[in-house]
């Protein structure tokens, strides 16, 4: 049987195929990312995820220690993680809760082999959230931790912002989706969570990035 040439080196076809397979597996493992979603709240929540290429999936996370590891592979465009109170686990309820909740937003393996991520309260806020980069493979841009926590939501949520009610049980950011600069309504959120995106173009210092291959944690009630 004729020998197989791979990148200028001669080797037997069996050993060549084996080495090529191992190299492919290694490259996939290096580039793939996971997101561990954790609930440290005192009550159960439902956490959901979705992306441009994957429909909504929801997971019931028990109080205090519930977790769900999702493998997003080597590409996850427009990825979102959010949560809401209770043990529904229903994707329909999750979709209804999404506009009432703060979002952990990800693009895995985007421009120049970088991941980008942020916490958005453009639509609303409902649960304390932290994103943390775990074992990151490069410094990137602000590769690290983002946090947002607003205590006493009932007293915080003043006009023009309004409480959402169920299923999200959050506070609507009334101006966030419709303005390109800060207002009194968006600044209320910014004052509490300065590293979050509070209106549509609020991206300076709020979008973080790590080299592709980094794993992440999204922690509720960190």
pLDDT of 71-106, one tens digit each?
999 999 999 999 999 999 999 999 999 999 999 999
User: Which residues share a beta bridge with 56?
Assistant: none
* pLDDT tier, 121 (very low <50, low <70, confident <90, very high otherwise): very high
pLDDT at 136: 64
Strand blocks (E) in the chain: 4-6, 9-11, 33-39, 45-51, 54-61, 66-73, 76-85, 103-108, 114-120, 124-125, 129-134, 146-148, 162-165, 170-172, 208-211, 215-220
134 vs 206: CA distance, rounded Å: 19
pLDDT at 4: 34
pLDDT at 141: 64
Q: What is the mean predicted confidence (pLDDT) over 184-211?
A: 96
pTM, rounded to two decimals: 0.85
129 vs 105: CA distance, rounded Å: 12
CB 180 within 8 A of CB 199: yes
pLDDT at 140: 56
Task: Residues 33-220: name the CATH superfamily.
Answer: Thaumatin (2.60.110.10)
Span of 30-34, 38-42, 199-203 with lowest mean pLDDT:
30-34
> Can you give the residue ranges of every domain in the chain?
33-220
Please give the C-alpha separations between residue 22 and each of 29, 106, 136, in angstroms, as whole numbers: 10, 29, 23
122 vs 202: CA distance, rounded Å: 9
The mean predicted confidence, pLDDT, of the chain is 88
127 vs 75: CA distance, rounded Å: 27
Position 47 pLDDT exceeds 70 = yes
Return the number of other C-beta atoms located less than 10 Å from residue 173's C-beta.
27
Position 19 pLDDT exceeds 90 = no
């Amino acid at each position: 049987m004729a020998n197989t040439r791979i990148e200028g080196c001669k080797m037997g076809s069996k050993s060549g195929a084996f080495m090529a397979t191992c190299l492919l597996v290694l490259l996939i493992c290096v580039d793939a990312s996971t997101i561990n979603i954790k609930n440290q709240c005192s009550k159960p929540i439902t956490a959901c995820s979705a992306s441009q290429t994957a429909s909504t999936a929801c997971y019931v996370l028990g109080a205090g220690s519930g977790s769900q590891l999702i493998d997003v592979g080597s590409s996850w465009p427009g990825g979102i993680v959010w949560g809401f109170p209770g043990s529904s686990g229903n994707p329909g309820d999750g979709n209804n809760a999404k506009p009432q909740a703060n979002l952990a937003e990800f693009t895995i393996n985007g421009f120049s082999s970088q991941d980008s991520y942020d916490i958005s309260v453009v639509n609303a806020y409902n649960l304390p959230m932290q994103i943390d980069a775990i074992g990151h493979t490069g410094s990137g841009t602000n590769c690290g931790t983002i946090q947002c926590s607003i205590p006493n939501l009932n007293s915080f949520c003043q006009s023009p912002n309004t409480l959402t009610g169920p299923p999200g049980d959050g506070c609507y950011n009334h101006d966030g989706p419709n303005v390109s600069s800060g207002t009194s309504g968006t600044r209320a959120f910014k004052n509490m969570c300065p590293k979050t995106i509070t209106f549509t173009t609020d991206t300076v210092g709020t979008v973080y990035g790590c080299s592709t291959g980094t794993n992440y944690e999204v922690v509720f009630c960190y």
